[in-house]
Amino acid sequence: MTPRRWTALGVVLLALGWALGAEAVSISHGVEENHFLDFATGASFFLGGAIALDRRPGNRLGPLMVLNGLSWFCGNYLNVRSGWTQPWLHIVQAAQTGLLAHLVMAYPSGRLSTRFERLVCAAAYVVPMGAMGLSLLTQDTSRCADCPPVPAAYPDFPHAVLAHRFFLVYDRSAWVLVTLFFVVLWLRWRRSTAAARHDLAPLWAVAVLLVAVYGLAPFASEEQNGFGYLIWELGAVLQIAVPWVFVYGLLSTRLAQSAIGGLVVDLQSPVAPGQLRALLARTLADPGVVVAYPMGDGRWVDADGRPVEPDPPDGDRRTTLVEREGRPLVALVHDPALDPDLVRASAAAAGMALDNERLHAELRAQLKEVRASRERIVLAGDAERRRVERDLHDGAQQRLLALSLALRTARRQLRDGEQSLVADTLERTGQELTSAIDELRELARGIHPTVLTDAGLGPAVAMIAGRVPVPVEVAVGDERYPPAVEATAYFVVSEALANVTKHAHATHAGVTIARVGGHLHVEVCDDGRGGADPGCGSGLSGLTDRVLAVGGTLGVESGPGTGTVVRANLPCRVRP
Amino acid sequence: MDDHAGFRSWAREVLAHEGFDVVGEAEDGRTAIRLVEELRPEVVLLDIQLPDQDGFAVARLIGDGSDVVLTSGRAPEDYGRRLAESGHAFVRKDDLNGPSLEAVLGARG
């Protein structure tokens, strides 16, 4: 059970207690009425409210129905006539007019849509509750048999005159309220489309029911026989039906889709990036809805391009995948209680906006990736400079320092007349110098291979292939390409062959470079043990950044035991 | 001590002819500390760039019995305040000879 369902169950149990308690009070005080019908009317508001809370969370009709039920039973508790609870029970009971008007006017979205509606609704609450409040403050308990035994707050108030005038106003305002209520309904009808009018049918059923109940009231009688009793029972049954009409309306998909009508209207004005999720959350009445966009490479991102998980591991959420022309458009992670058709219909209604936002999300994710890769390129550049400095310091510089000491020794030997030793010293000096020159040459080649600049990819690749301890089959043409493309291809081959030497345990390797269309395809394969991971180790991820920087793509296939294939695809044109 | 064997052998030759008694050589910090304890030399020539740990750390582990002179192929300003804070004398490797060594040791008293 989800926490929401527990809440709904709790509401049902509390409400049942409140309703049974109310009937117990009525029976114990000898109130003559049909207790079953009274119980059924209030309880049907509670039950309808609980169902609405469970199935349409976020829609205010559920709480409104529950409050209606609460208010319904206040009359029963008034029979207790004790203590300070009495005024409050009167006030809550007086709220029933407002609650019922609110329920009808807010159907089916749960929201009042115009200022006029809000005004009428507020009046429906304030006028009866205010009238009750004032009468409680000013009543003369000595002249009123039914008055609660609570002293009026202002007993010296000129109550008789005021109360009379006030009830005149209230009496007339009741008619004004009813008229305004029907004006609201009529205005809603007038501005609705044909489909929306169809959706409002249950509302009219409720309005007719309410008119019937209150219109027939003067003819009703609780005497257990004759026409009056029939009318009274009919009225009670009609009132029981009110919440069920609302529940039917809320649960029928067609009406749930009327919320989609609101979404379509909202989408007619430009939607700010990221706002679409909020609109869908409101339409589906699921504040936690997640909108995930496919990136095309198996990753999913939200509207801001942040990675999201479209398959939640817990059963509290469900994922609905929406496709367009066979391609995934969006994944909606939502409350499992939601009707899948409603979710799909919402996504369909928001199709264009979703597509738009998907492109935005893709762009943002790419921008994030570009920023990250730019940072990695800068870091890799710094690391490379540190490596060159260290290589220079530890290699050639040490040899040159030794040379300076060697030459100083030779000078001393000459000065001391040790001629025989000088030749040996100079011989060793020459060896040290040759080593220093070799080291500098290797270092320079590592920074940028001259053969690549002078002779192109073919000879450059042949040179690095020649240093790999296993046979390497090289298939590279003589064409020249733009320097950035040649350098990138060279470093892809160089890094991939270095991995063959260091990790692959291969017996053969192959390098193929060919231009197909506007792209240079570079492929390095081996028959080694495989298992290379492009995400781990800076070598391959550094290569990916390098390849992306020239607008290319890098792929690595390396299953365990099946060898490794590194493929780079670089956009290029032939250099004349 | 220095991890470059070629440099060590030339340094030994230069210093030996300039009146120094070269009692031992080491190629890393660990060996250096062990040899200093065994041989108790008056002066330890210590390269700052060693393969296992840096010369400053090795200098701290060498007791007060020996004067430590730090050496490097880099210029002293490359080490910023670390060199001054270490309290040890410094000789650039290309300037390594008897008189320069005596000068820095003399300066320290």
Dump pLDDT digits (tens) for B50-72: 888 888 999 988 878 889 999 99
Q: Could you tell me if B52 lies within 8 Å of chain A, comparing CB atoms?
A: no
* Least-confidence region, from A183-197, A382-396, A453-467, A539-553: A183-197
Residue count of chain A: 576
- Rounded distance, CA B105 to CA B95, Å? 14
Which residues of A, range 237-296, sit inside 8 Å of B by Cβ?
A: none
Q: Which amino acid is at A393?
A: H
Q: Could you tell me if A394 lies within 8 Å of chain B, comparing CB atoms?
A: yes
CATH topology of domain A3-256: Rhopdopsin 7-helix transmembrane proteins (1.20.1070)
- Rounded distance, CA A455 to CA A370, Å? 33
Phi, psi of A334 (to 5 degrees): -140, 180
Q: Is the pLDDT of residue A520 over 90?
A: yes
What burial class does residue A454 get, using C-beta atoms within 10 Å of its C-beta: 0-12 exposed, 13-18 middle, 19+ buried?
Answer: exposed
Residue A35 vs residue A160, higher pLDDT: A35
Phi, psi of A521 (to 5 degrees): -95, 125
- Rounded distance, CA A553 to CA B30, Å? 48
Pairing between strand A327-334 and A290-294? Answer: antiparallel
Q: Kindly report the CATH number assigned to the domain that includes residue B100.
A: 3.40.50.2300
Can you list the positions of beta strands (E) in A462-508?
472-476
Inter-chain touch A402–B94, beta carbons under 8 Å:
no
User: Predicted confidence band at A387 (pLDDT cuts at 50, 70, 90)?
Assistant: confident
Total domains present in chain B: 1
User: Predicted confidence band at A248 (pLDDT cuts at 50, 70, 90)?
Assistant: confident
- Rounded distance, CA B93 to CA B90, Å? 9
On chain A, the residues whose CB falls within 8 A of the CB of B49 are 393-394
Inter-chain touch B17–A412, beta carbons under 8 Å:
yes
Inter-chain touch B97–A408, beta carbons under 8 Å:
yes
User: What's the rounded mean pLDDT across residues B4-15?
Assistant: 88
CA of A427 to nearest chain B CA: how many angstroms apart?
13
On chain A, the residues whose CB falls within 8 A of the CB of B17 are 409, 412
Pairing between strand A564-571 and B67-72? Answer: unpaired
Find the CB nearest B7 among A393, A398, A412: A398
Phi/psi region, residue A274 (left: phi>0; alpha: psi -120 to 50; beta: rest), is: left
User: What's the rounded mean pLDDT across residues A5-33?
Assistant: 86
Q: Could you tell me if A433 lies within 8 Å of chain B, comparing CB atoms?
A: no
- Rounded distance, CA B109 to CA B101, Å? 12
What burial class does residue B27 get, using C-beta atoms within 10 Å of its C-beta: 0-12 exposed, 13-18 middle, 19+ buried?
Answer: middle
- Rounded distance, CA A541 to CA A537, Å? 7
- Collapsed DSSP state (helix, strand, coil) of residue A154: coil
Task: Indicate the class that CATH gives domain A455-571.
Answer: alpha beta
- Rounded distance, CA A25 to CA A80, Å? 7
Tell me: the pLDDT tens digits for A297-337? 778 888 888 888 887 766 677 888 888 788 888 888 887 76
Inter-chain touch A401–B93, beta carbons under 8 Å:
yes
CB contact at 8 A, A387 and A395: no
Tell me: the pLDDT tens digits for A171-224? 666 677 778 888 888 888 887 666 566 667 777 777 777 676 666 666 666 666
Query: In DSSP terms, which residues pair with A159 in a beta bridge?
Result: none
Tell me: the pLDDT tens digits for A477-514? 888 999 889 999 999 999 899 888 888 888 999 999 99
Tell me: the pLDDT tens digits for A140-154? 555 555 554 444 544
Tell me: the pLDDT tens digits for A36-55? 888 888 899 998 888 888 87
On chain A, the residues whose CB falls within 8 A of the CB of B73 are 393, 397-398, 401
Write the ipTM: 0.85
Cβ neighbour number for residue B108 with a 10 Å cutoff: 11
- Intra-chain end-to-end CA distance of chain B, in Å: 23
Computed over every residue of chain A, the mean pLDDT equals 81
- Of the candidates A456, A466, A502, A485, the residue with the CA atom closest to the CA atom of residue A546: A485
* Domain extent at residue B36: 5-107
Q: Which amino acid is at B75?
A: A
